[in-house]
Chains A and B, each alone.
Chain A
Amino acid sequence: MTTAVRSRRVNPFLLPAATTSRFVLLVTIMLAAAGTSADLVAGGPSRWLEPYIACDRAADAAASAGGSADALAVTYMDCLRGVGLDRALVGLCAMALVAVAVGALYFARPRLTIRRQHLVPADPVVHAELYEAVARAGLPGRQPALLLDVNRRSSGGRAFGHVGRRYVRINIGTLHQARRSGDREELDALVAHELAHLRNRDLDLTNLTLATCWVFGGLVALPVLVYTALFQQDRLVDLGLRTLGTAVVIAALTTAVLRLREHYADVRVTTPADDPPGDDPLGGGPLGDDSPGRRPRRLRPLARHPSDQERAEIVRDPGVLMRWMPAETFGAGIAAGLGTCHLFETTRLWLDGVGNWERTALQLAGLVYGVPVAAILVAGAYRAALLALAEGRRPPRGGLAACALAAGVMVGLVAAPSRMSRPWAESAAASPGAALIMAAVLLALCLLFCRWLAATATSWLPVARARTLTPVYLGALGPAALAFGLWLGAWIEMTVMALDTRNVVNGLSALFAEFFDAALLTGLLGALLYPLASWLRYRGDEPARALHLDTDVAAGLPAVRIRPLVALAPAGLVLLASAIVEAVTPLPAVSALIAGAADGTTGTQYDALLMRLAALVGVLVGVTFIAAVVVAVAVGGRAMLGPSHAVLAALSSAAAAIGVLVAPVAVEVCATTPGCGAITPARQVGIVLLVILAIGVPVSLAGAGLVGAAGGVVRMVRRREVSVAPPRPPRHWLRRVAAGVAGVSVAMWLVFAVLSWLGQNGFLDDSSGSPTTSAASKVPPPGPAGARTARAACPAVRTLTVPSMVREDYRLNWAIDFARMAESDRPFLVAVGRAGYPRSRDHHGEIVHLTRAVGQYCVRT
């Protein structure tokens, strides 16, 4: 678009204010810091290692005295759970205490302010001009109580209060100046500004922000420093630096909230309802092409008050408030890294005995912190996208925000409790290569996430039909929290594995294995397809909005072109081609071709069928890749929706290909001994869907990425005019049919995903099947005890490889591990290893409680 459009003042009130985002960030970081600080202090110099090691020693002593390995494992886990309960109580009580204190201060502050400043109610008769100014401002709803500071001569005022009690304080000098000069303009401006705070509903935010800052200083930072200085002097530097760093972040966020509320109030005062269009709110002439429009490049991070220049510039260009601030995403990253680890450490032992409890605890912790972090990130992306769309610019790509997010997560981890035997920083320093690679993986994940946020905002903002854009923003929180929280948890777990074993292959392999987790895949699938769902809402008659403050003309946001039918076309082609081949040949051609190739292999019929299945998976990958590339080329990379289209194309094509190509072979495999075992049909379908997703998503993203990169090169060479014509809305019946199909697909997927997740995480009992023989029976028996160190015997040092995870079964791995443990120099490991080895080797007997106990014990070897 043109300079004339850029110079317009974009309306920042269509989405939740940045003030709210930063307040959410402040509260999240403060609670996480309170819990973490309490955990670090209460953990003592050993960082809770001593009580855990006491449990280890007790278990070794009990094992030396003899006894059942099962009883030893149960007693050991009870001991650990007791420590975990203490730890959780410390952390959660600290968080609850500061939350209660913030709430109490929130309610007490207005009264304290009135008392300290000795504010008196304004008299409706003597100070009638004040009441008239309030009436002229036209604040709807309940009016605030008007108070006077009768000691101050200068003009000034402040809106404050809490729920149910709103106050506006005016310096009495403001009234005196109005009387002296006979000009009430200044009084009106002051009253309008203070009432703008009420219209922006930021009184509670401000009050809570100040309360949070004071409570953090008084109840967290100061006690931590005093206690450490008195009783743990050797940790004073460590804890002092952590506390100081957190205090700086809290202070920066507090000042950011306070500054932003003033900016939003300034802008609110100059909205068209209060100010005639075209009038300069600063009195410097009409805004428009002649206004400088320069945005301040640097906002002072710790300044509590915005400078007059900043205020003037932001009133001229409110778009500054809608930028995607890297500092905000950096803070969100800190909250995520700090909070997720702490919550995981304090709650994981509570879930002991509930399926795959560690993974479940990490996913829950990630989700708990994923919600507020997603709220901040989504808000930033949506504001920036709205600004870009309103100004006719390209949507933001979020590269800088992604870098800041990744950096914030890593900084948060450095300050967070570590489940490893050493703190995060020491572990990373001990294996810098693994740390760097896992950091690169995190950066890649953050880049993808921020790119997705921008794409989601670009697709959903134009189709919003509600009065404000807030419902659209809230709608994105669910997929964003799932996508971010679940994957952050998985990345943390894998990074722990890579750093603890000093083997980056372990981390990457396990991250790949995590890709098959049903919950992760569901979150990922929902996030990837969510932008396309906006097509179902697009009617072409979306309400126009007041996008700009200096004009009464409402306008709609430009909708992006979404083409789900193009994305589904490859699947239709696959089905059509299969039907034709089926009709003209006795056997499906591809299947027959592969069957012929596989016949030449040596081995059993089962092996031959597995070979055919593997070949068909290769065909499947090819089909998904071609479909993804073709669709990505067809829809173009506009609005960054190419990957979403490619994923839909790849998954639907993969499903079609599986239905007509792989299913017959899979049925043959299941009919052949040893077959599919005791897996229920529902779980079989779930596994197939997971496989489709696990293959289709990365393959389609890779294809779309290739197309996008090639398209970027082409665009650099040949600049093409972009069509600004709005896309044609889908027909009503088509939209309804698509919505119905999408709803049924989502419901079906959820059923199978839930079943798969329950099975994957041990919530479903799979022990009903008959014992089977496998490679586990060939694992040699353990040698004498004392031949290995505990670290060498623990399963954590086992090098994970993809083939080992895909090919071998759970029992085989544990048979090897138990045999090693039985040769260790620790009595507890020897007892558990000797009990677990025959059960794993023979596929007979419960070993879950043994593996859990060993997993915990080995953390500290």
Chain B
Amino acid sequence: MTTSSTGERRALVRALVAEFAPEELPDFDTMTAAYFAAPAAARRARRTRDEPGAFGIDLGDPTFTNLMWGVIGGLTTEAIVLGVRGGRARLRRWFGSRPTPGPQDPLPEAPPDSGQAARAEIADVLKRAGRADADEISERVVDRWSRRDWTPPA
């Protein structure tokens, strides 16, 4: 069931954004480009910004696109790591120090029997980001990835 990998990540994330945060779709390309152009700035979006604004302090709340790129990036790295038995921690560090993969990088196959762990990990990330629908999203991510289905919702 392996297909051409070019653009698969992008397609998966775009499909998830279209499903759960459709208002972000018009800016999807802009946000994606910014995420990969400045990963540090993207990571800082999860932190409180120490400056007052019109509505008080910006407590740190990344966009759904930003979150999904982080989740998918982490999962793909994890998938590769899980595929290698032994030396897991060392490899995790090695992969962790590598540059973030780009949106056009291939999406690896979802590791067999890893659905539950992936779901829990995704839900954990999303809950920490304050998403109330974390479980639903994690379910959809794992489902789409395992089926390699990135058809946009109707």
Q: A residues engaging B (CB < 8 A)?
A: 116-118, 120, 123, 126, 148-158, 171-173, 175-177, 179-180, 186, 189-190, 193-194, 258-259, 262, 265, 304-306, 308
Contact = CB atoms under 8 A, between A and B. Distances in A.
Nearest to A126: B26
5 contacts: A116-B41, A152-B45, A156-B58, A157-B54, A308-B56
Interface of B: 21, 23-24, 26-27, 30-31, 34-35, 37-38, 41-42, 44-45, 49-64, 66
A757 B34 CA distance: 69
Contacts, number: 97
Contacts of A180: 23
Contacts of A258: 51-52
A262 B52 CA distance: 8
Q: Which of B24, B38, B49, B52 has the most CB of A within 10 A?
A: B52
B126 to A, nearest CB: 12
Nearest to B50: A304
B54 A189 contact: yes
Given A120-B30, A176-B24, A179-B23, A151 B52 contact: no
Given A176-B21, A306-B52, 15 more contacts: A118-B34, A150-B34, A152-B61, A153-B61, A153-B64, A155-B54, A158-B53, A173-B61, A175-B27, A176-B23, A176-B24, A304-B52, A305-B51, A305-B56, A305-B57
A194 B54 contact: yes
A176 B45 CA distance: 16
A171 B21 contact: no
A151 B54 contact: no
A189 B55 CA distance: 9
A154 B53 CA distance: 11
Contacts of B61: 152-154, 173
B146 to A, nearest CB: 27
Given A118-B37, A172-B27, A151 B62 contact: yes
Nearest to A176: B23
Contact of A117 (B23, B41, B57, B62): B41
A156 B55 contact: yes
A271 to B, nearest CB: 16
Given A150-B34, A152-B62, A152-B63, A157 B27 contact: no
Nearest to B39: A118
Contacts of A153: 61-64, 66
A305 B54 contact: no
Q: Which of A123, A154, A157 has the most CB of B within 10 A?
A: A154
A172 B34 CA distance: 12
B54 A156 contact: yes
Contacts of A265: 54
A151 B64 CA distance: 9
Q: Which of A173, A177, A308 has the most CB of B within 10 A?
A: A173
Contacts of A151: 31, 34-35, 41-42, 44-45, 62-63, 66
Contacts of A177: 23
Ordered nearest first, which 8 A-B pairs have the shortest CB separation? A193-B54, A151-B45, A118-B38, A118-B41, A154-B61, A305-B52, A156-B58, A179-B23
Contacts of B27: 126, 150, 172, 175-176
Nearest to A308: B56
Contact of A152 (B26, B51, B58): B58
A136 to B, nearest CB: 15
A157 B23 contact: no
Contacts of A175: 27
Nearest to A190: B54
B53 A157 contact: yes
A624 B62 CA distance: 76
A304 B58 CA distance: 13
A280 to B, nearest CB: 17
Contacts of A193: 53-54
A26 to B, nearest CB: 18
A115 B66 CA distance: 18
A123 B55 CA distance: 24
Contacts of B58: 152, 154, 156, 171
A172 B63 contact: yes
A289 B82 CA distance: 69
B32 to A, nearest CB: 9
A149 B23 CA distance: 16
